Structure 1
Amino acid sequence: MDKITRFFWFCSGTHVDTLKKYPIEHNKYVGIGATIFFTALFASLSGGYAMYFVFNGDGFAVGFAILFGLLWGFAIFNMDRYIVSSINKEGTTNQQILQASPRILLAIMIGLVISRPLELKIFDKEIRQKLKSAYLKGQHSKIDTLQKTYNEKYSMELAKNADLKKEKDSLEKDINRSRTQLNEEVFGEKNSQTSGIVGYGTYAKQKQSVLKEKEDRLKLVTQNADNMDQYLSSRKEYEGVNSTRLFSDHQLDSLAKIAGFADRNWALGQLSYNENGTRDVDTYLAISFIGYLFILFECLPVFVKLMSPKGPYDVAIAKTYEANVYYAERDKERDIEVIDSVYKDHVDEDIKRRRNTLSNRTGHDRDWHRYD
């Protein structure tokens, strides 16, 4: 327990030697340190899972996830430890809140970042179902778009083909009627369309000639319609209309499994809405609750430090800080005095040396004048 206590003291960023003198403060800083540690632990797990998701399928995905998780957790831990330990309890409440406000804003951002990968994991089943519906709907839309483009591009050919088929149907009906009338004429059945004379006479030959013309026309129309069908079929293949099919259940499962972060993140956002576009309050609150929980957890170290009253440890740290500042200023002044003294001695020595040099040079010139 003593080792655990010391570890959490270290996590809280306290000065251990000073804190030992005030047992009443021990539990408070154990709680602050534990909050900082577990915040960094959750950040490490979330960051590791996010990196594993990014490199999913890679042989080094686990290694990347562990490395990034440790780095991310250590960064959050170090930042929390520094900011919490730097909050000055000597100031007023407003000053402390103002001092902690950048950390609170940063905690909101960090909470959103580290909660998103866990939300993706928690709602994985619902996300896959939403992705399957979206992929199937997208495939329907793609097929409809291809079909619409094909119809617009080959509208003249399609209209001509429809006219040929319509004419073919009309000719087939006429030929059937003409054959019936020919048979009635040959067998001598009397009606408004026949003469009533038995045998293959003049009227029968006329009807046979008309039937022959219609059959020839039907043959030509049928051939043209078949040629047009072949042409349009080849155009469908070229435009991709025939090759595009709806996804099977197995294909949808595979697509949802390998979906990227952007698709999964979009699907998670869509879970908060119903099919008709209205807000699904239950799902929205469930997703939001996880994000709010991590934001609160990120802000806890700062809140705990702000809510805790000023204790003897804070007073001792403040006095130690003031004493250190005083000694630092005094040492600075002493250093300046020493530097000034050394500089003055150096300047005096330099002036003396210059004077001696000048005196020697003057005496030397005087000797030359005497020689002349």
Structure 2
Amino acid sequence: MKKINRFFWFCSGAHIDTLKKYPIEHNKYVGIGATIFFTALFASLSGGYAMYFVFSGNAFAVGFAILFGLLWGTAIFNMDRYIVSSINKEGSINQQILQATPRILLAIMIGVVISRPLELKIFDKEIRQKLKTAYLKGQHTKIDSLQRTYNQKYAQEIVKNNDLKKEKDSLERDINRSRYELNQEVFGDKTNQTSGIIGYGTYAKQKADVLKEKQDRLKVVTDNLGQNEQYLGQRKDYEGVNSTRLFSEKQLDSLANVAGFADRNWALGQLSYNVDGSRDLDTYMAISFIGYLFILFECLPVFVKLMSPKGPYDTAVAKLAEANIHFAERDKERDINVTDSTYDHNLEADINRRKQIITGQSEYDLSRHTYD
């Protein structure tokens, strides 16, 4: 437990030698250090997961994710440690709040950054389904757009093709009717369109000529229609109309698996809305509370430091800082002509006086101190 406590003291940014002298402050800084450590741990997992998707499919994706996760977690750890340790408890409450405000804003930004990749992992199943729906809808839109462009670009050819189809259908019906009438004329069936005389006579010959004329026209129309359809088919291939198809379920799964960070982040945002565009309150609250939790977790060390009363450790650290500042200023003003022997003697005495002031074993008055 001593090693664990010492580790969390280090995480909190406390001056360990000074903190050891005040047992009443030990638990507070263990809590602060543990919060900073676990925040950095979550940041490491979050950053590694985000980097894994950046290099998804690469053979070194896992290695890159681990490396970036460690670097990102270390950066967040160092930043949190500095934020907490730099809050000065010597000022008034308003001064402390003013001093902590930029740090709180920075902590909020860090909380948002580290929470997003973890939210993507938590809602992975819902995100995949949303992506598949979006990809299928996008493919529908693409096909419709290609078809509209094709229809507009080749409108004249399409109209001509339709006219040829109509003429062909009309000719085929007329040919069937003319062929039937010719048979009636040849076999002597009496109708309004036939003479009723058996044999291949004058009327039969006329009807045969009309039938042949229609058949010749049908052949021309059929040839023209075939050429026109072949041309339009080539244009469809060129414009991509024929090659563009709706995605199969297997293709949609594959696309969702290789989706990038931006697509997944977009899909996560869309989970908060229904199909009609209205807000899905339940999903929105679930996603939001996860983000709020990490933001609170990131700000918690700062809040603990602000809410905690000024303790003996804070007073000792302030006294230590004041002593170091005083001696630094005095060293700066020391006469450069002091001999080496005198300087060494005074330096040794000076070190002893500093130790006495820091440890509280002397009532040395800083304001009256002069250098011999």
TM-score, normalised to structure 2, is 0.86
Work out the CA distance in 1 between the residues paired with 2:228 and 2:327: 100
Who is 1:104 aligned against? 104
RMSD: 1.8
Taking a change above 3 Å as real, the CA distance of residues 236 and 96 of structure 1, as seen in their structure-2 partners, is same
| Unpaired segments ≥5 residues, structure 1 | 343-372
**For each residue in 1:49-81, what CA deviation from the matched residue of structure 2 results, as whole angstroms up to 9, or x when unmatched?**
222222222232222222222221111111211
Shift of 1:321: 2.2
Q: Note the 1:195-214 alignment, pairs <5 A.
A: 195-214=195-214
Who is 1:339 aligned against? 336
Shift of 1:136: 1.2
How many matched pairs?
Answer: 339
The structure with the largest helix share of the pair is: 1
Who is 2:301 aligned against? 301
Shift of 1:340: 7.4
Q: Note the 1:312-323 alignment, pairs <5 A.
A: 312-323=312-323
Work out the CA distance in 2 between the residues paired with 1:173 and 1:33: 92
Work out the CA distance in 1 between the residues paired with 2:311 and 2:87: 13
Shift of 1:38: 1.0
**For each residue in 1:215-238, what CA deviation from the matched residue of structure 2 results, as whole angstroms up to 9, or x when unmatched?**
111121112112222222222222
Work out the CA distance in 1 between the residues paired with 2:234 and 2:74: 62
Work out the CA distance in 2 between the residues paired with 1:10 and 1:23: 16
Who is 2:122 aligned against? 122
Work out the CA distance in 1 between the residues paired with 2:247 and 2:160: 33
Whether 2:91 is the aligned partner of 1:94: answer no
Q: Note the 1:263-278 alignment, pairs <5 A.
A: 263-278=263-278
Who is 2:80 aligned against? 80
- Runs of 4 or more consecutive aligned structure 1 residues displaced over 6 Å after TM superposition: none
Work out the CA distance in 2 between the residues paired with 1:55 and 1:218: 62
Who is 2:244 aligned against? 244
Who is 2:222 aligned against? 222
Work out the CA distance in 2 between the residues paired with 1:120 and 1:196: 87
Shift of 1:200: 2.6
Work out the CA distance in 2 between the residues paired with 1:57 and 1:213: 67
Stretch of structure 1 that moved more, 110-119 or 204-213: 204-213
* Identical residues among aligned pairs (%): 81
Who is 2:363 aligned against? none
Asked whether the equivalents of residues 44 and 72 of structure 2 are also in contact (C-alpha less than 8 Å), the reply is yes
Shift of 1:87: 0.9
Stretch of structure 1 that moved more, 37-46 or 187-196: 187-196
> Which of 1 and 2 has greater Rg?
1
Asked whether the equivalents of residues 13 and 81 of structure 2 are also in contact (C-alpha less than 8 Å), the reply is yes
Partner letter of residue 336 of structure 2?
I
Shift of 1:40: 1.2
Whether 2:8 is the aligned partner of 1:11: answer no
Stretch of structure 1 that moved more, 297-306 or 9-18: 9-18
Who is 1:43 aligned against? 43
3-state secondary structure, aligned to 1:339 = coil
Work out the CA distance in 2 between the residues paired with 1:189 and 1:254: 70
Shift of 1:184: 2.5
Work out the CA distance in 2 between the residues paired with 1:150 and 1:223: 23
Partner letter of residue 173 of structure 2?
K
Asked whether the equivalents of residues 186 and 198 of structure 2 are also in contact (C-alpha less than 8 Å), the reply is yes
Shift of 1:300: 0.6
Who is 1:175 aligned against? 175
**For each residue in 1:110-136, what CA deviation from the matched residue of structure 2 results, as whole angstroms up to 9, or x when unmatched?**
111111111111111111111111111
| Unpaired segments ≥5 residues, structure 2 | 340-372
Who is 1:158 aligned against? 158
Work out the CA distance in 2 between the residues paired with 1:206 and 1:332: 129
Who is 1:57 aligned against? 57
Asked whether the equivalents of residues 50 and 261 of structure 2 are also in contact (C-alpha less than 8 Å), the reply is no
Work out the CA distance in 2 between the residues paired with 1:130 and 1:203: 73
Work out the CA distance in 1 between the residues paired with 2:232 and 2:52: 49
Partner letter of residue 23 of structure 1?
P
Work out the CA distance in 1 between the residues paired with 2:72 and 2:183: 95
Who is 1:353 aligned against? none
Stretch of structure 1 that moved more, 127-136 or 174-183: 174-183
Work out the CA distance in 2 between the residues paired with 1:111 and 1:81: 15
